[in-house]
Structure 1
């Protein structure tokens, strides 16, 4: 045991002595020119190391440098700059005059992906020949980086439209083996427009044929997006997928996607090419897609307080974006196809099933060949097109709805749920904008509608008319029957929409106890209504036979008007009763005149006046 301990002590002394001798005998600044030339020869970039290089021996033999920069040819700003850099090197190759870098670590680095940091080739510059072999300076040296670490760093990315995205707190750990199988761990956060995205990535990559081909397996991607105009808890979830890149064809693919976002799930494949005009092919399936949860909307809410209560709050006025003009819309930059199959979809409090979307986009115009689904016992189909080539999004839809719950539909569009029943509709609408607010202000079109099992909340036409007649005339009264309490109606007619003004041209309704027709208009932005009906109560009368017969054949004018929150109605029963009295008086005078043909001529004149 004593010999073993002595042997270990001697070995430790030899290692420490060797490292001390290495520090004293080998000057790390001798590698400065070599590293700069190696970087320039292999990539064309210029590596600048400022300050002296020095050894760091514990716990890893390393070379420490002061400020460093890495600059592309002809660039105005460096691609990478850092206050310090650490190179972990292997000991044995160093003893044989070889520099083998085990790990490169940058702390507090700034990575710029901007036009100023991009390489610039001088005008009329000759094309450089293919890279030749190693120079005399590099003969006998090898260069190998097994690991790269970037800690507490910043990435500045400037998009094509000039806007910059700052990726902060970048922590990257990249390692690869001799077969060029790499492992990546990345965490960062992005703050923009009062929103923040935090993500953590764990992936394995095959870079053996890079840049011709790159394959990656994203084992786990955790993310959380919080901030203005998002749900209180944000949008968070995990993702897994397989990624591949073909450099020669500029093609990529995402396979076996498994994505969770709050309580929604997506799976499928995405592929595309980036040559010329980019092409994208999306084929996804969702067992559950809850748009209310993703958008932070309460059931049937819009942009009002009910929706705001479900969100983290709107951005301050000073941080509001400029007016959207479609200049940066993906549809203007990318062509492709989208297929989406959703088993269960929730939107503004409405639940849909078997939703299918089949769309294609070309030159800024998306064609909705199919957008259909089911809701309860009904179904919907919304084919059409979306055009983003102009400043304002132009939408054209040909909706076809069958037996959809109209109360839920009205609530979804932030309209009073004053109607219930099963709505069937077929129409043609055009407008600008895809929001509910835009539909209520800037859309036009017309539709034919049919409402089965309809009831108007708070309004029973039969009871209203019967009670009004009873108060005006004691000769008749209405009966309180079951049909009056459960007055299910069928309503048919046409409607036109013109920039927020919804006009009903010829509404016709019927039920077992009444018939009516009507017309009028509804102002959607101002939330005002003005509709006039002519209601004929065909059953439920008792009393004077002549008056009952008259009431069963005569429409009673009924006007409903005013703001949605406090609707008024005007029922003109007196006109019907007055006409009945006039007709009855005229008939009696005529009978008297027929019995007294030689009577006073003033009676004949009175009959004519009536």
Structure 2
């Protein structure tokens, strides 16, 4: 028993003597010049160790380093890039005898990092890696040429722990200010080719956005410290600012090795004003061995959206894509992407080149898109003033242009078109816009220097075809536009019925449009649009009026016969007109309608602002028979008034008889005969004759 006690006492004495020798013969402050010199060689910056380097004996043998600062170049807002208050190092004793500083764990308290980008683009990180590479090259040369010289001190670190660290990141170009605080980081060990666990948590804010994050991963450093492997990465985050509230964001990664596929999972649950979103997704990712190309396959992002700002109460948006990103060229290539929003699918490919003005190219296609189903339902005004205005507009006495229509004056914000370079093609097999069914749509479009252009548009429309081009220039106070298109052989009645619920006109339409103007609000379009629309409609009908029937009834009235009541439709073989638009007014002076029975010419105008009509039409019977023989060749004036939705047709009897003495004589006889039937013998009374004469003068003069 005594022998064992003697052995233990001997060991304790040996340790005490060893520690005493260590403290006596090895002064840790001799490492200061070594550290500062090596840092200067590697970075070109000064390392200032203000505090002493002292031995620490509890809980393990180690070193404590006082306040230390790693300097910034001149011209930055703070003097130090990195600084810390206290660093504690646990050290292996035996390697010191061979001039090897083997640090078991390094604990940094109160570390602070400051990174700044100046307005000229320079940062306080510039030059660090270049100096490091130069120093490594010099060290390699010295090792080769001086391999037989006395060995130098070597330094290694087994683990790192940051406690209550912080960081400030400023970008004077973008006015971004980020502050990280309560940063804690633990690395269990720091040895090459050995798996070790890292954990972190951090709080902070970026401008008005506040966030917190925490996570963990296992990592394995390569022997040269240049590459790293990861596995079991898990991170969570929450953030909030005035508009954005991310309650929970999660990121998971099964493993990461250069040149090998990694399985990534992510989810985000949050809200913005009037919109809640729940987003989650998966993908396979790979980083090339040269660190330059990121490849993504099987990316699938599912978004469940709920909110008042949506065109529908809920939307399920699913995006599938494969892509690559070239880091050096800043070029993303999307080989395929599919977007499915509640059954509306769009597929295609594209590219994105990051630059001062981003360059975007794309090709998209879809089998069916119903635009109307994604637009807000148009509200119908029901207040008394609107009702009175509508009644006034529909009144036969109202034929002027003073009735106002509630139209929007809000201009769309198209400023983004100035900062994008875009070109692409869109193909849609079936498209529904404003209730119109359009098939085989092809659009070639581009945006450059604030000018958006539809270089080519073509589509099939109700038995015919539409082709055209358009451009919008947003480089002026109000955007300027130019539209040209051609409508060929389109069935007009179903088109008007679908678009405007208008059943007034049928036939095969051929229309050429050339319009331009400034301002894209509905009000500015109606007020400022200029140009022409040439219309040629064949084999058609005008619904709501039967001009031959109007003439037959006028004749029947003169004879005291019963009026006919036939279908209110006027058939024609051709309808042609040139409509000239000029700042709120659309006018024509060459309206012509031809049919086997009648010929109609007209002129007039309509207001694009309040949709009122003032059109004078002259109708002439050009065929015999059908009870109209006696008025063949007579020009009959018809006045069209009212609105686009409710036009009114009035036969101008005064003008009808003014230039036809025979009809005027017959009409007067029929009127006198009616007065005799009404008043009998009193019809010859002078007073009644005077009243009758005034009535006839008012009718025929």
* Normalised TM-score (structure 2): 0.59
| 3-state DSSP of counterpart to 2:475 | coil
Pick the aligned partner of 2:540 from 430, 454, 459: 454
Deviation (angstroms), 1:372:
0.9
Is the aligned partner of 1:112 residue 2:196?
no
Deviates more, 1:391-400 or 1:534-543: 534-543
Deviation at 1:110, TM superposition (A): 5.0
Q: 1:177 aligns with which of 209, 232, 255?
A: 255
Q: Do structure 1's residue 371 and structure 2's residue 457 form an aligned pair?
A: yes
Specify the alignment match of 1:419 in structure 2.
Answer: 505
* Corresponding residue to 1:71 among 160, 168, 172: 168
Give the corresponding residue for 2:4.
Answer: none
Deviation at 1:323, TM superposition (A): 6.3
Counterpart pick for 2:353 among 265, 273, 285: 273
SS of the residue aligned with 2:553? Answer: helix
* Cα drift, residue 275 of structure 1: 3.2
C-alpha distance in 2, partners of 1:286/1:188?
29
CA distance in 2, matches of 1:581, 1:175: 98
Q: CA deviation at 1:512?
A: 3.0
Matching residue within 491, 502, 516 for 2:586: 502
Q: Which residue of 2 aligns with 1:361?
A: 447
- 1:59 counterpart residue number: none
**Retained in 2: the 8 A contact 1:98–1:141?**
no
Q: Which residue of 1 aligns with 2:611?
A: 527
| Cα distance change on mapping 1:211 and 1:142 into 2, 3 Å | closer
Give the whole-Å Cα distance in 2 for the aligned partners of 1:349 and 1:231.
17
Unaligned runs of 5+ in 2: 1-58, 63-86, 89-104, 116-123, 127-159, 212-220, 383-407, 667-700
How far the C-alpha of 1:557 sits from its partner, in A, is 0.8
- The 5 A counterparts of 1:156-171 are 166=244, 168-171=246-249
Post-superposition shift, 1:517? 1.0
Question: Which residue in the other structure is 2:419 paired with?
Answer: 333
Task: Assess, with a 3 A threshold, how the Cα gap between structure 1 residues 463 and 582 changes in structure 2: closer, same or farther.
Answer: closer
**Number of residue pairs matched by the alignment:** 490
Partner-residue secondary structure (3-state), 1:33: strand
Distance 2:167 2:660 in 1: 99
Give the Cα–Cα distance (whole angstroms) in 1 for the partners of residues 539 and 523 of structure 2: 29
**Is 2:108–2:163's contact at 8 Å kept on the other side of the alignment?**
no
In structure 1, C-alpha distance between the alignment counterparts of 2:491 and 2:164, rounded to whole Å: 68
2:114–2:168: 8 Å Cα contact kept in structure 1?
no
Rate the CA distance shift 1:437–1:140 in 2: closer, same or farther, 3 A: closer
Paired with 1:340 and 1:32, the residues of 2 have a C-alpha distance of 59
Contact 1:103 1:145 in 2 (8 A): no
* Aligned mates of 1:453, 1:501 — CA distance in 2: 28
Q: Deviations over 1:51-75 (max 9, x none)?
A: xxxxxxxxxxxx9998664433788
Partners of 1:517 and 1:461 in 2: how far apart?
Answer: 13
Distance 1:441 1:406, change over 3 A: farther
Report deviation, 1:567. 3.7
Q: Tell me, what secondary structure is at the counterpart of 2:632?
A: helix
Residue 39 of structure 2 is matched in structure 1 by none
* 1:295-326 deviations in Å (ceiling 9; x for gaps): 345xxxx67579xxxxxxxxxxxxx9996553
Tell me, yes or no, if the aligned pair for 1:365 and 1:386 is still in contact at 8 Å.
yes
- In 1: Cα distance, 2:440 partner to 2:324 partner: 31
Quote the Cα distance in structure 2 between the aligned partners of 1:571 and 1:32. 100
Secondary structure at 2:610 match in 1: coil
User: Relative to structure 1, is the Cα distance of residues 434 and 583 closer, same or farther in structure 2, using a 3 angstrom cutoff?
Assistant: closer
For residue 491 of structure 1, the aligned residue among 546, 558, 575 is: 575
Asked whether the equivalents of residues 505 and 543 of structure 2 are also in contact (C-alpha less than 8 Å), the reply is yes
8 Å Cα contact 1:174-1:182 kept in structure 2: no
Mapped to 1, the partners of 2:463 and 2:410 lie a distance apart of 43
Alignment check: 8 A CA contact 2:469 2:483 kept = yes
Q: What's 1:160 paired with?
A: none
Alpha-carbon distance in 1 for matches of 2:162, 2:560: 106
Structure 1: gaps spanning 5 or more residues: 1-23, 46-62, 118-133, 157-163, 307-319, 587-609
* TM-score, structure 1 normalization: 0.67
Matches within 5 A, 1:339-488: 339-407=425-493, 409-410=495-496, 414=500, 416-434=502-520, 439-474=525-560, 487-488=571-572
Distance 2:192 2:656 in 1: 114
CA change 1:77–1:503 in 2 (3 A) is closer
